[in-house]
Amino acid sequence: MGAALPEPAPSRLFLSGNDAVALAVRDAGCRVAAAYPGTPSTEILEVLARYPDLYTEWSINEKVSLEVALGASMVGARAFCAMKHVGLNVAADALMTMTVTGTEGGLVIAVADDVGMSSSQNEQDSRFWARFAHLPLFEPADAQESYDMTRAAFALSERFCCPAILRLTTRICHVKGRVIAGERETHEPGGFVKDPQRWVMVPGNAKPRVARMHEREEALRAASTESAFNVLLPGEDRRIGFVVSGPAFMHVREAFPAAPVFKLGQSYPLPLERVRELAAGVDQLLVVEETEALVENELRAAGIACSGKDTLPRVGELSPDVLRPAVARLLGEPVPAKAHLAPQQVFPRPPTMCVACPHLGIYYTLAQLRNITISGDIGCYTLGAGQPWNALDTCISMGASMGVALGMDKGRGEADAKKSVVAVIGDSTFMHMGMQGLLDITWNRGNVTVLLLDNRAVGMTGGQDNPGTGRDIHGETVPRIDFAKLCEALGVNKERIHVLDPYQLPVLFKTLREETKVREPSVIITNRPCVLIDDYQPAQPYKVIADQCTGCGNCLDVGCPAIHVTRRAKEVKPSGKEVELAFTRIETSACTGCGLCVQPCAPEAIVHAAPEHPVKFLHAKI
């Protein structure tokens, strides 16, 4: 990680929402912070790790990160954990019990929802968790509120002895704004107090505490009613009033500056009576919320007439361009014409893997195999589902490749009897939630071949370290997991575990073909580092000898972005069949010399560039 951050001056700062949350956590006197990387929340802990006076860790998954934070809270320390929206699903088991036990030191959970699904497989609304767990919820609308609400959440958590949830969105996490920081607090832990009836959650101890949890929720409602983060902003246009939270507030104010707005900042428990006041003073009330109709349904249940998802979309961000026509229709006004720009001809750039990515050879090889079904997972390697490989058949959730593969094996009928089942999973994902799946495969004698792609990084979120890299969040040397030994300990026959170089295509192809024929669990572990981390060492680049290129296009099947088509042509074979030729070149300044494209080149037209040619490694750290 980078050097420790300097003490911020008590003046205006220019911060993203993630930066602001991290600064607030530090300024609130937090002692322990844990997270699992996941866009859009990753940077919060990366910034916190640069503050030398609090403990930070990348946890193995979100559940563990929340349990670490709870343990710190139990001894009286202020604690924090961060995750993206799907991570809170993983942490739910711990969350739903700690809402019963309560907390001691202030505990804040930052969860970042990916509204619009920029980098996620769903558009989950984490506000549900506050209601499900009966916990207070804060929703900042900008970077300043991200700072202020984080600090307020610690105070509220300690006041009511319960976790507090800070709901962020991708726009809040990544957009920068002005932040004025407050004075830094110190907070000394009071120590652990033995109280088995509180901390040992057997049914006999849990039952009395559930009643306390509901009593606490009513007290939280009163606090929400009084909260300075819940503000009624007057407006002279009384035809419509808005109830809104989070970044959608900014969109409402931009689109309808003259309308009265009730801004929800501490949005759960919902301050119903204050909303009722606004509803009484406007002709119509519109609830603007991303993404589900939670507030709308609560208002209607309380007898407050309103519109919401009957007017506005349930998916995506509610920008002014979305709000204006929707409100016009609601008011019976002409819908404003949308300005249409002339379509721009943009060269298509679908997502793909990096130059020399160690996963390229994996998917090139899988694409050559027949009669296989490939169960995929969450990570950079999910891109194997795209062109030119088309070598991924499923992708559900973190670690699901293992269980799905086992289910495919056990559920197969005659239609799939001759097919082999392959599960593809990355190193960090394997440790996050895949180890249990492999144990289930071995325990239940599944016929699955597992490809464990060890690239020594949490690649998709920026190359963070994990237990397989031998470094902690601060770059300090720590014990490194031996994946071969781990897989053997999980029940895989030692003879069925192979560690190989994914750049060696013949070895990879031979091993995969053999292991998919074996009728027992097997694991193939690849061992090349991600090209974007310091562990990766580029070699001498390659070039295409134009006169020798026959246009076979085999090198394109590898999928490396450094290979470009210079021209296309058609040729009629002696058999009368017409084939398309693709003549290529290699962008030598981007090539790192992995050699993947050399191996399938039929005319041997790919050779090393001149030794004097400088290797310009163009990849940048994410």
Residue 267 has pLDDT above 60, yes or no: yes
331 neighbors 240 (Cβ within 8 angstroms):
yes
149 neighbors 165 (Cβ within 8 angstroms):
no
**Binding-site entries:** 549, 552, 555, 560, 591, 594, 597, 601
Confidence band for 10, pLDDT divided at 50, 70 and 90: low
pLDDT of residue 323: 95
pLDDT of residue 355: 95
Distance (Å, whole) CA 540 – CA 8: 44
- Scan for tokens 């997991």, then name that residue: 481
Please report which helix (H) or strand (E) contains residue 510, including its range: helix 505-515
> pLDDT for 389-407, tens place per residue?
999 999 999 999 999 999 9
323 neighbors 252 (Cβ within 8 angstroms):
yes
Which string of DSSP letters, residue by residue, matches 407-454?
HHHHH--GGGTT-EEEEEEEHHHIIIIIHHHHHHHHHTT---EEEEE-
525 neighbors 483 (Cβ within 8 angstroms):
yes
Residue 621 has pLDDT above 50, yes or no: no
Q: How much of the chain exceeds pLDDT 70, in percent?
A: 96
> pLDDT for 164-208, tens place per residue?
999 999 999 999 999 999 999 999 999 999 999 999 999 999 999
Helical residues (DSSP H) of 28-91, grouped into ranges? 42-48, 62-74, 85-90
**Least trusted range by pLDDT, from 363-367, 433-437, 505-509, 608-612:** 608-612
Strand 12-16 vs strand 176-180: parallel, antiparallel, or unpaired?
Answer: antiparallel
Q: What HEC string does 266-289 produce?
A: EEECCCHHHHHHHHHCCCEEEEEC
Domains annotated on the chain, with CATH: 12-186+196-226 (3.40.50.970), 233-331 (3.40.50.920), 359-526 (3.40.50.970), 542-608 (3.30.70)
Neighbours of 265 (CB within 10 A): 22
pLDDT of residue 448: 97
Q: Which two tokens stand for residue 249?
A: 């507030």
499 neighbors 484 (Cβ within 8 angstroms):
yes
Going by the DSSP 8-state scheme, the letter that residue 553 receives in this structure is -
Confidence band for 344, pLDDT divided at 50, 70 and 90: confident
Neighbours of 351 (CB within 10 A): 8
Confidence band for 616, pLDDT divided at 50, 70 and 90: very low
Mean pLDDT of 108-134: 93
Q: Which two tokens stand for residue 89?
A: 């699903």
pLDDT of residue 8: 57
pLDDT, the chain, mean: 92
Mean pLDDT of 237-255: 95
Across the strands, what pairs with 35?
A: 58, 82
pLDDT of residue 9: 55
Which string of DSSP letters, residue by residue, matches 157-183?
HHHHTS-EEEEEEHHHHH-EEEEE--P
Which string of DSSP letters, residue by residue, matches 298-330?
HHHHTT---BSTTTS-SSS---HHHHHHHHHHH
**Binding-site entries for [4Fe-4S] cluster:** 549, 552, 555, 560, 591, 594, 597, 601
Confidence band for 574, pLDDT divided at 50, 70 and 90: confident
Number of residues assigned to the chain: 622
Q: Which two tokens stand for residue 363?
A: 């998917």
Q: By CB neighbour count within 10 A (0-12 exposed, 13-18 middle, 19+ buried), where does 412 fall?
A: middle
Mean pLDDT of 75-104: 96
**Of 580, 583, 592, whose CA–CA distance to 544 is shortest?**
583
pLDDT of residue 617: 44
Question: Which amino acid is present at 491?
Answer: G
